[in-house]
Amino acid sequence: MRLFLTMLAFAMLGGSALASGAEVYEKHCASCHHRERWGLTGPPLLPEYFGPKKDADIIAAISEGIPATNMPAFKGKLSPDELREVAAFVRTKTAVPVWSAFEMLSTRKMADAAGPSKKGGYDMEEFFMVVEGGTGRVHFMDGRSFTVLDSVKAGAIHGGPKFDNELKNAYMVSRDGWVVKYDLEALREAGRIRAGVSARNIAISADGRHMAVASLLPEALVILDTETLKPVRSLSMGALSAVYSLKGRARFLAAFKDRAELALINQDFEASTIEIDQPLTDFFIEPSERYVIGTSREGGRITVVDLEEGRVVKSLKSKVRMPHLASAALWRANGSVYAAFPHIGEAAVSVMELYSWEMKKTVKTKGPGFFARAHEYAPHIWVDTNTDTIQLIDKKTFEVVGEVTPEPGKKAMHIEFTKEGSFALVSIWEDDGAVVVYDSRSLKPVKSLPFKKPVGKYNAFNKKS
């Protein structure tokens, strides 16, 4: 009898293990994540969307569910084998989605122009967007009183949200391709459209009239009219790593994940390319917008591209691997301009002198951080360390000269300054997190505002496109 029961148990286990990931998906997931995994009420479940996310994290999301969302927990409903198989299945490639202007327009929703609007009249340059990772919401905060005025549901935000130059509207894109336009004067959502099935980031043209969306699925640079959010062009150029706007003749600059090229997009949305020495997946553009400083996924070398001359002017080996250039902090001191940037996975921050392109120093930090921030009128460079402590670097000597620990034991990440640099805002990156406001000179905390995992904060004046 006991033997028989054991055999039966084995047979049942074996049977469920045979249910392939695809079948489990069809039965339990397709209703929310789309038959082709392009996303419906749930996000797309595709390799392009997950990026470098760990398998263990995907399995955990399926097994435990995602609290306070519609993502159910499948522990108990699915066997451990089924969980593993469906997790492996969502990492496989799928058919490239058809996502033309027709599909985009079918998702477009504009607010009624005569609808309710709250009163504006705030100092627009002191506006903040606070992106909550915990809820997928973006909050709009007055940076004088530090009070939240409104918020919108935007989904998982990957690249930074953007303000237009006139500070009339803010824009954001979720990882599943939804572009949201927010009217900063009326303090309400102005409209939204799904520009792709999975997207990397957006850029707003200097004149505020167009938005470029780096869509990962399908692979395209989608140009939208910012007034109507209607698509005006879709440029197929391959897999993009990011798009940025430029003030000069070229409107947008795009870089590629796997191609050693940069693309410049002009007023007529025609692309011209610059050959470089490695694909740039992580980069910044210096303030004069002549040079792009970047690195590839391998992160072994730093490339400097001169956009005016259309060529690489410097290529240097990075002493510490994986420089995170997209989050570089820039400042003037000693008659030069410097950039400080962390290294992914390494407890170090490097300082580079711009225009001579010389590495000046590598500063050891408490841990491997993601962000460095500086402000013209704030005395220190603030760097996070993936610990509960933010370290402060002197602008002239590049030495660590201080630190702040907002809440011992809780991760402190990402720094943003107010318009005049008087205050530095630090995130407590926890589900029951906060934004802690510091006086940037006395280094005393002056306020703590509760947020659910506030992954990023963006000041309008500092972040104008």
Which of 46, 58, 217, 383 touches ligand HEC by CB under 6 A? 58
The 10 Å Cβ neighbour count of residue 190 is: 22
Among 34, 38, 39, 43, binds ligand HEC (CB under 6 A): 43
Return the amino acid letter for 398.
Answer: F
Minimum distance of ligand HEC from residue 36's CB (angstroms): 14
By C-beta, is 137 or 361 nearer to ligand HEC?
137
Provide, rounded to whole angstroms, the least separation between the CB of residue 30 and ligand HEC.
8
DSSP letter, residue 125: G
Of residues 78 and 340, the one with the C-beta less far from ligand HEC: 78
Q: How far is the CB of 144 from ligand HEC (least distance, A)?
A: 32
**CB burial of residue 333 (10 Å; 0-12, 13-18, 19+):** middle
Amino acid at the residue 438: Y
- CB neighbours (10 Å) of residue 107? 15
* CB-nearer residue toward ligand HEC: 71 or 246: 71
Report, in angstroms and rounded to the nearest whole number, the Rg of the chain calculated over CA atoms: 23
Shortest gap between Cβ of 107 and ligand HEC (angstroms)? 17
CA dihedral (434, 61, 296, 279) positive or negative: negative
**Minimum distance of ligand HEC from residue 415's CB (angstroms):** 25
Tell me how far, at minimum, the Cβ of 78 lies from ligand HEC, in Å: 6
Give CA separation, 16 vs 22, 58, 462, in Å: 13, 20, 55
Q: Which is nearer to ligand HEC, 70 or 106 (CB)?
A: 70
Total length of the chain: 465
Restricted to residues 144-183, the positions that interact with ligand HEC (CB under 6 A) are 156
The answer to whether 74 contacts ligand HEC (rule: CB under 6 A) is yes
Site string for ligand HEC, 1-40 (x = CB under 6 A): ---------------------------xx-xxx-------
**CA distances from residue 63 to 15, 57, 80, 81, 95 in whole angstroms, order as listed:** 20, 10, 9, 11, 26
**Residue 42 touching ligand HEC (CB under 6 A):** yes
**41 touching ligand HEC, by CB under 6 A:** yes
Q: What is the DSSP string of 411-431?
A: -EEEEEE-TTSSEEEEEE-ST
Q: Give 69 or 336: the residue with its C-beta nearer to ligand HEC.
A: 69
What residues contact residue 178 under an 8 Å CB cut-off, 6+ apart?
A: 107, 154, 155, 192, 193, 194, 195
Residue number, 53 or 364, with CB nearest to ligand HEC: 53
Stretch that binds ligand HEC, among 71-79, 121-129, 181-189, 367-375 (CB under 6 A): 71-79
- Cα 342 from Cα 368, distance rounded (Å): 7
Q: How far is CA 189 from the centre of its chain?
A: 20
First to last CA, the chain: 74
Q: Does 136 bind ligand HEC (CB under 6 A)?
A: yes
Closest CB to ligand HEC among 58 and 393?
58
For position 73 contacting ligand HEC by CB under 6 A, the verdict is: no
Name the site residues for ligand HEC (rule: CB under 6 A).
28-29, 31-33, 41-43, 45, 53, 58, 61-62, 66, 69-72, 74, 86, 90, 136, 156
